[in-house]
Amino acid sequence: MTDLQDKRVLITGGAQGIGLEMALKFAGRGAEIVIADLNEAKLGEATAKIEAAGAAAWGFPVDVTDPASIAALRAKIAAEAGPIDVLVNNAGVVFGGPFIETPLERHFKTYEVNVLGVVAMTHAFLSDLIDRPESHIVHISSASGLVGLPFGSTYASSKWAVIGFSESIRAELRLLGHKHVHSTVVCPSYIGTGMFEGAEAPKATSILDPTHLAEKVVRGVERNRVQVLEPWMVKITPLLRELLPTAIYDKVAHLFGADTSMAQWTGHGGSAKPEAQAQPESRDQADAERQ
Ligand SMILES: NC(=O)c1ccc[n+]([C@@H]2O[C@H](COP(=O)([O-])OP(=O)(O)OC[C@H]3O[C@@H](n4cnc5c(N)ncnc54)[C@H](O)[C@@H]3O)[C@@H](O)[C@H]2O)c1
């Protein structure tokens, strides 16, 4: 979508974090913004920020895991805002920790929000996007959608699913003649939003600035980029994983601290982990034990 002026952008999970940052960047391009979020309490403040940036803004509650809630959202958007031109599937959750010590409900919740939520939102809104003269669907995946993530196995695999879904829908739309519906999948490493509080950025990279990443996403949309991979190391990661034998890849990942990056994850507020859950070893501890 080369011109975002007067386009209407719907962002799930838009009340905070990278969702809100993207909303502000889209607003800066002259777009109208609809944010939809489970966290109703934050919608008012977030829409006020978007309006202060000069854009028309609506904030609606939604639970992306509930098709009835999505249907109600679609009806509200149709009645109060008008049809959307861009859908950003951004809402997501993460529960870090050793797989076996993390309660099964948390693993299921991860797939419900990160995968089923994306499927349900796309199912509800894709016909609206097809009806527009030009439209765009953005999926926020993750760098962990390209490789494994110890202490974040269901999060990573949920993001693998998002990449597979995005790639399949993109090709299907082309085959069905809907070439005017563009698609972008975004795979960032850690972003400084608090979702991955405690996680360590792999060596030679840093935690991404949310505003900077949001600009990259919006630019990716304007250029109809199929993928936005950030930072530089993420761009070469799929190639490294394919080219290197697994034992060598594992060594490289460990050298950069990519495999232990989640070892000290705490998440928003640092208290998302149940008291009983064992702390995974830190990068230093892991190094010491391997020596
Ligand atoms: N923060 C990072 O390091 C990072 C890295 C890569 C990818 N991502 C992805 O970026 C996206 C946004 O992450 P963030 O860092 O801004 O996180 P965040 O926790 O700040 O924001 C996520 C938003 O999603 C909303 N949400 C959660 N469950 C929902 C549901 N069922 N229905 C509707 N809304 C719901 C939350 O209320 C919240 O406002 C996520 O998909 C995340 O997986 C984040």
Residue of 11, 12, 16, 18 best suited for mutating to test ligand 1, as the one with most atoms within 8 Å of CB: 18
- Output the pTM of the full model: 0.93
The pLDDT of residue 155 is: 98
N residues, the chain: 291
What class, spelled out in words, does domain 8-290 have in CATH? alpha beta
Task: For residue 189, report the distance from its CA to the centre of ligand 1, in Å.
Answer: 13
- 192-202 burial: b if 16+ Cβ within 10 Å, else e: bbebbbbbbbb
The pLDDT of residue 172 is: 98
Residue 62 Cβ inside 6 Å of ligand 1? The answer reads yes
Measured in degrees and rounded to the nearest 5, phi and psi for residue 148 equal -80, 160
What the block records as the tokens of 5 is: 């002026």
What does the domain layout of the chain look like in residue ranges?
A: 8-290
The pLDDT of residue 284 is: 45
The pLDDT of residue 256 is: 93
Q: What are the residue ranges in the chain where pLDDT is below 50? A: 272-291
The pLDDT of residue 275 is: 39
Q: List the catalytic residues.
A: 155
The pLDDT of residue 227 is: 97
pLDDT per residue as tens digits for the range 7-61: 999 999 999 999 999 999 999 999 999 999 999 999 999 999 999 999 999 999 9
Residue 91 Cβ inside 6 Å of ligand 1? The answer reads yes
The pLDDT of residue 204 is: 85
The pLDDT of residue 272 is: 46
Residue 93 Cβ inside 6 Å of ligand 1? The answer reads yes
